[in-house]
Structures are given as structure tokens and as C-alpha cells.
Amino acid sequence: MAGQVEKLSIALMETPTREIIFWTAFCAAAAALLLLRLKFITSGRPRLPPGPRGWPVVGNMFDLGTSSHANLAGLKDKYGPLIWIRLGSINTLVISSAEAAMDMFKNHDQSFCNRHLNEVLKSDETVSAIVSLSQYGPYWRMMRRLYATELFSAKRIHGTAPLRRRCVDKMIKWISVEAKGTSSVEMRPFLSATLFNLIGNLLLSRDLLDPKSPKGTEFFNLSSELIALTAKPNLADFFPSLRWLDPQGVKKKVKVKLNRILEIVGGFVEERRRDVQHQQHNKEKDFLDLMLEFEGNGKDEPTKISDRNLYMLILELLTAGTDNTVTTIEWAMAELLRKPETMKKVKAEITQVVGHDRRIEESDIEDLHYLLAVIKETFRLHTTPFLVPRSVVKDTEFMGYWIPKDTQVFINAWAIGRDPRTWDDPLSFKPERFLGSNIDYRGQNFQFLPFGAGRRICPGISLAHKMLHVVLGSLLQSFEWVLENGVTPETIDMREKLGTTLRKAIPLKAIPKSVV
């Protein structure tokens, strides 16, 4: 080794000075060009967002736990509002702040507008008929147009107000009979039946659930089981190579339940067709009539809606219109029972605005400012954990990071609604924070997003707004609510159960005492 160093020294000494200078300059220039090239490459494709290091094969699956919304929210302090994780082989971006959500919806909505479907949903090709799950394209635009101009138009919603009033009156009677003066009632079944009937009348001009309707009860039970199955963690979602094996048998279970529930919906449709043939259906046209009469252009939209696709549409509207609304009202009642003074305030407002001589109507809603604030605060604190997952349409630069095509996108609405940088005392139920505030949930304020925002915002917001306030307001106007013996406001079980919505893990029970 020493000999080699000596030979190199002699060679350098014998080399003319100008050659040394030349080669030194050459090496320096080459190094500079290499650095510039590296900088160009890295600046041409920004780095991925930060996130926890994943395990081989499984990625960050263990970081989710049983409360994925809360665990991912906990990572925001370390990694920021954008978090990159890998769920098995699926690249996933988690958006966890109002600022990041606003940037996405305002500046990148079209690049993030597709849906990421799990393997269970992909297993039935007619799932593409479900508007909220369909990919962004001609079919989605056609159905959104029909929803806007027909199903959820201001004229139709206003015209169906008497149907909703009748369904709410029936709910009050059911609860009165069930309570029998002193017995407690579990609220969820009554709320679910009422909301199913509210949507059922809008779609099919008929009640779907009552004590004498075993088919309607079966429909409700099947839809609840179906929602739970599609939200259940499935190995095939994280490792697509396993999709043919169905390792947990989820696809098989979903297929059986889905086929049965579509049989029930098909029965409703066939009854309507028979009524039309025998000229027994003389009511104003509803959604089913519109779909049966639909004629598309045959180019970028179907000439007719197939029967199975029609059944899927009805199923979507029934389940989506019921689950989130029932969950919100149950949480609102739980929070009001935990805070008797807040309950007194909202009841006093209803008495002041509506009085004792008539029932609360949809026309009263905008004058019930405290009731409006109660619903908003319930949405903020108990919102849907994640908006329906999106998929990135093309490679996109977002907030200085590179987001590859087909990345799954979670918008953690739960984390956004509880962000201490946005909300004072974020874990406390305080409707007063919304009094005198212009913050709303119609997609323009990104501090809370119960209905989403952008192109894929829920098309039924106006209807949901009316149902939420009239149902909750009627419960408060019609009854004095007290807790069961042995339960105090401090001991109400407020644990959550994660699914497509964030339900109360233990259904709410209370004693209604009639006041009207």
C-alpha cells in the first residue's frame, strides 16, 4: 500500500501543472453537473408526504388499531396535516386539517374526484350504479343532474313536507305507546323506522316499516348487516392478490344479503308496475316513476335504467338517507341528556317560537337558532369518521408533495371537527359556539364536513337538514326526557362504534313523559 502511495506522489510531481489544473476543473465541473441533475430530478417530482415507517408487507396496518380515525388524528402533531401511510400494498394519503381539506376541495377536487372501492364493493359490477360510489364520468353526471332537478329539487322537497309530517307524527305515537307512561325506550329503532319511512315515501310513496310489515323489518335488518359487512376490515383490501380467495368469507356473506335485499326492493318496484298497469297509482310522480320512465341518449348514458341498477339506487338512497341521520339524532339526544341545562334552553326556544298549540314545522327551522346550533355541534363532535374514500385520477402535486395516481385518500372529518387549532375546548359539547356564526355544513366551511364538499358533496343536504331538525325538534317538543333509574348525566355511556358512521356503541335509552 505504501508503495502505491509513493508511486502516485511521484506521478503527480511529474505531471505538468496545467494538466493538474485541467483535471481538477474537469472533476469539479462533473460533480457540479451531477448535483444539478439530482436537484432537477428531485425538484421535478416532489417527495411524498411524511408518515410513520411501515412494516414489511403489512405497511402501517398496525398503526390503525380499532379506532383508526382517532389514531390517525394522533399522528398529525408529529407529521402534519398530510400523512402518508401504506395499508398492505395500498398507498394512502390522510388529510387531517381544515386548511388541507380546503386546498384539496378548492384547487384539486377534479384530480381527487374518483372513488376508491374496497374488494367487497368491486365484487358486484352493479355497485357502479350507486351514485356515491360511481367513478367520476358521464353516468355520475347524469344521476347528479336527475337528483338536482327531480329528487332533491326545492319544489319536490317542499311538496313532500306533509309526508314527512305524517311520518314524524306516527313516530311520536309509537313512542307514546311503547313508553306506557314510565317505561324507557330505546330510541334507535323508532328513529330508524321513521327515517326509512320518510325516504320510502319520497322514493316509493309508501311506508316501509311498521309493526305489521315483516318485509320492511327484514329490509332494515339486512341493510344494517350489509353496511356493517362492507365496513368490516378485509385482508383482500390490503392485499389485492388475495381477492380471489376471499379469506374471511366477506364477499360470500355480502352476496347473499345483497341479493335478498334487492329481492325486497324488486318487490316494491313490481307492485308499482302492476298499479300503473291497472291505473291504481294516481299519486304525484315519485322517484320510482321517474326512473321507470327514464330515457337516456344511448351514447354516454344508458337508454334505460336496468332493474338491478334501479334496485341499487333505491337501496343507496334508503341506507344513506337513514344511517347518518339516525346516528346524528341519537348523539344529539345523548348530549342533551348529559347537559340538562342545554336541554332546557333548546326546549324553551321551541316553546317561544312554536308555542304549545301547534307542532313544529319545517318553516320554523330557520327561526330556531339554538336548535340549529345543537345540530351543528353534534355534527362537529360526532361526525362521520372518514368521508367516502377518494382515489387520485392522475399524478398530482399537492401542498408541495407528489401524490401518485391511484392513491387512496382519506379525509379525516373526525380529526378536523376536533382540531384544537380551530375550535376552543374542542372535546366539549357547546352549541353556543355556533350562535351568531356563519359557519355551515353545506361545503363552504371546511372546519367540519359532515356532508363532504366539492363535486361529490352529498346531494341530499337540503332534505337531511329538514329531517334532522323536525325529528329532533318534535322529540323535544312532545316529551320530557329523563334518564333510567341508576343512570346519571355523568354515567351515560358515550363510547363509539366505528363503521361507515360513528354510532353510539351502546344504544341510547331514556324515559319519555308526554307533554303534548
- pLDDT (tens digit, 0 to 9) for every residue of the chain, 516 residues total? 444 434 333 343 444 444 444 434 444 444 444 444 444 444 555 699 999 999 998 899 888 888 899 999 999 999 999 999 999 889 999 999 999 999 999 999 999 999 998 887 777 777 888 999 999 999 999 999 999 998 999 999 999 999 999 999 999 999 998 888 678 999 998 999 999 899 988 888 888 877 667 877 788 788 888 888 887 777 777 787 777 788 788 888 888 999 999 999 898 888 877 876 766 655 678 888 888 888 888 887 888 888 999 999 999 998 888 989 999 999 999 999 999 999 999 999 999 999 989 999 999 999 999 999 999 999 999 999 999 999 999 999 999 999 999 999 999 999 999 999 999 999 999 999 999 999 999 999 999 999 999 999 999 999 999 999 999 999 999 999 999 999 999 999 999 988 778 999 999 999 999 875
Helix (H, G, I), strand (E, B) or coil at 47: coil
> Is residue 501 included in any domain, yes or no?
yes
Among candidates 191, 478, 471, 466, which has minimal Cα distance to 358? 478
Q: What angle do CA 342, 343, 345 make, to 5 degrees?
A: 65
Q: Enumerate residues 6+ apart whose C-beta is below 8 A from 488.
A: none
Exposed, middle or buried, 14 (CB in 10 Å: 0-12/13-18/19+)?
exposed
**Cell numbers representing residue 287 in the block:** 322517484
In a domain, 49, yes or no: no
φ/ψ (deg, to 5) at 343: -60, -45
Question: Distance between CA 357 and CA 57 in Å, rounded?
Answer: 66
Distance CA 202, CA 228 (A): 25
17 located within any domain: no
Annotated binding site for heme: 458
What value does the CA radius of gyration of the chain take, rounded to a whole number of Å?
Answer: 29
Compute the distance between CA of residue 263 and CA of residue 311 in angstroms, rounded to an integer.
9
Partners of 82 in beta bridges: 95
Q: Is the Cβ–Cβ distance between 291 and 313 less than 8 Å? A: yes
Q: How far apart are CA 368 and CA 349, in angstroms?
A: 7
CA distance 446 to 291: 34
Note whether residue 14 is domain-resident. no
- CA–CA dist 305, 310 (Å, integer): 6
CATH code for position 108: 1.10.630.10
DSSP, collapsed to helix, strand or coil, labels residue 504 as strand
Residue 37's Cβ-count burial label (10 Å; 0-12, 13-18, 19+) is exposed
Residue 386's Cα: distance from chain center in Å? Answer: 6
Q: Are 442 and 451 in contact (CB under 8 A)?
A: yes
Structural domain span for residue 87: 61-514
Handedness of CA 277, 279, 282, 284 (dihedral sign): positive
99 residue type, one letter = E
- How far CA 323 is from CA of 72, 305, 380, 471, in Å, comes to 24, 26, 17, 14
In a domain, 470, yes or no: yes
C-alpha cell at 138: 358521464
Cell of 204: 316509493
Strands 479-482 and 401-403, bridge-based pairing: unpaired
Nearest to 339 by CA among 450, 449, 494, 475: 494
Predicted pLDDT at 503: 92
Residue positions forming the annotated binding site? 458
Per the rule left: phi > 0, alpha: psi between -120 and 50, beta: everything else, 406 is left
Q: 96 near 399, Cβ under 8 Å?
A: no
Question: Would 20 be classed as within a structural domain?
Answer: no
The structural domain count of the chain equals 1
Dist CA 335 CA 350 (whole Å): 18
- Cell numbers linked to 105: 376541495
Nearest CA among 383, 445, 391, 367 for reference residue 418: 383
The helix (H) or strand (E) run that includes residue 114 is strand 114-115
User: Would you call 56 exposed, middle or buried from its count of C-beta atoms within 10 A (0-12, 13-18, 19+)?
Assistant: exposed
22 part of a folded domain: no
Q: Which pLDDT belongs to residue 425?
A: 97
In a domain, 25, yes or no: no
Q: What is the rounded distance in angstroms from the CA atom of residue 344 to the CA atom of residue 482?
A: 12
